[in-house]
A and B are shown apart, each in its own frame.
Chain A
Amino acid sequence: MSQTILLPTPLRKHTNGLESIQLSATNVKGAIEELNNRYPGIKDRICEDGDQLRRFINIYVDGEDVRFLNRLETPLKADSEVSIILAIAGG
């Protein structure tokens, strides 16, 4: 089982410039933990106060905003694509 995590530019300095990471996890929270195991400190850039997603970060699983799913508990399929996107544009 391997999922693809797509990272926005500002997080890539934690991943030596890699824009996508392959990893295995059962849900979004697990994916963030696994990401943090490999690149310590990256979780604090995505979450605050423990497991709260930062206000200006959005996460999509297979194109759907996790706020419409089960937030960080959203389960991942074997080949899910998880996009971490900054909430910057609009209007």
Chain B
Amino acid sequence: MGYVTGLRCRECGTRFPKQLRAFCDECFGPLEVDYDYEAIAGALTHDLIQSRPKTLWRYRELLPIDGEPTVGLHTGGTPLVKAGRLGRALGLNQLYIKNDAVNFPTLSFKDRVVAVALSKAREFGLEIVGCASTGNLANSVAANASAAGLTSFVLIPANLEQTKVIGTLVYGTRLIGVNGTYDDVNRLCSEISGRYNWGLVNVNLRHFYGEGSKTFGYEIAEALGWRAPAAIVVPMAGGSLITKSYKGFKELEQLGLLEDDVKTQVFGAQAEGCNPIAAAVKRKSTDLIPVKPNTIAKSLAIGDPADGYFAARTILKTGGWADDATDEEIIEGINLLASTEGIFAETAGGVTVAVTKKLAEQKRLPKDEPVVIAITGNGLKTTEALDLTLFNVIEPKLSAFEELLDERDWREQAAALAS
């Protein structure tokens, strides 16, 4: 059985029964799921959580489903990697990477939210689902809907990366490219949801969908020995993951499942070419001014982020900060992460690493306490952002190989590194 008591408006507090609904009738604010935390506190223990498989469903009492999960049964449980080499490069002695680039099944954190949203869609008896997406969500909705036997409609900006298009079409979804930005796609989906009774995961299932992101926070805290980190750095598109990760820490604290109080400072990362939340934070404001995105970090290219206000509020409330990265810095960030930790992140990950570097240089991050950076998507999805096609070609002869070693000074470099 589930522990959801209903829905509550995040803006004005009006309550609604749990249902397919996109907004509050009173103020049109977004909705949040309410739980019976007292009952959850009586049921959920460290032992119970740890007795379950390492997937996001090990925290199922804190997820908004009533019955057994039916979609994304193997999602979550991604590694928290101690990033010593990247940490040394950035001057951070306790740096960790939460690596959702290897999430299942579609290699991004969106598999978390989709597992929850589509499990909920099936509880509602919906047969058609869909989403507005900058790519990762498209991949995940298409894959999970097919696996669940649901029909899906996926709407994306028509100029998305080819790999993200292929990684959506392959599942047999009805993929629709829209001439315009993600914000145009979003607006269209809002209108579609008013006309068709479909389960659009980030429109009328959004309040259930967003809860999946909390598991990003639960997993970090569990991996740190049931402690919230001193700081997290999270990429921001719609602004949901950053607020829900923090909510995850606070819920564990409320349930008495953490060893210490949550003192996490929350930091946000955006691309300079689409930075409405970071710009608001720099003004110490929660009032966002929308922008027209222009960045290679297409998965973060939301100029009018639906949860931007809440993201800015969480950052400012926790004493965090936000910054942004140029396209050049994003590429450097991807390369730095790959060359220090062997993790290939998509452009959003480049944004996060680049902004972490800036925040470290600004001395905003604690040097000797746990800092977690969120890597939310896989680099194989955005390879076209990188110009990495040149490599040495030789004849299959040892002499040719050794000539190359000398020519490129690789022999000296290797010897120097070994000494």
* Residues of A that sit less than 8 Å from B by CB: 8-10, 45, 54-58, 60, 63, 65, 67-68, 83, 85-91
Contact = CB atoms under 8 A, between A and B. Distances in A.
Nearest to B286: A55
Given A57-B28, A86-B190, A91 B289 contact: no
B11 interface: yes
B194 A8 contact: yes
Interface class of chain B by DSSP: loop
B211 to A, nearest CB: 13
Interface stretch (B89-97, B233-241, B355-363): B233-241
Given A55-B11, A68-B292, A90 B27 contact: no
Contacts of B206: 88-89
A83 to B, nearest CB: 8
A65 B304 CA distance: 10
Which 6 pairs between the two chains have the least Cβ-Cβ distance?
A91-B238, A90-B306, A90-B238, A56-B28, A89-B203, A9-B194
B23 A55 contact: no
B22 interface: yes
Determine which residue in B23, B25, B289, B307 has the highest number of CB atoms from chain A within 10 A of its CB, and name it: B23
A67 B186 CA distance: 16
Interface in B284-337: 289-290, 292, 302, 304-307, 309
Contacts of A58: 187, 304
B304 A89 contact: no
B292 A87 contact: no
Indicate the size class of the contact surface on chain B. Answer: 35 or more
Given A67-B289, A67-B290, A89 B307 contact: no
B113 to A, nearest CB: 9
Nearest to B240: A91
B76 interface: no
B115 to A, nearest CB: 16
B27 A91 contact: no
A90 B290 contact: no
Contacts of B193: 88-89
Contact of A90 (B28, B191, B292, B302): B302
B306 A89 contact: yes
A91 B201 CA distance: 10
Interface string B230-254: 0000000111110000000000000
B132 A89 contact: yes
B190 A89 contact: yes
Given A89-B203, A90-B302, A56 B23 contact: yes
Interface string B113-128: 0000000000000000
Interface in B98-123: none
A45 to B, nearest CB: 8
B156 to A, nearest CB: 13
16 contacts: A8-B194, A10-B25, A10-B28, A54-B27, A55-B11, A67-B290, A68-B292, A87-B304, A87-B306, A88-B203, A89-B186, A89-B203, A89-B206, A89-B306, A90-B132, A91-B239
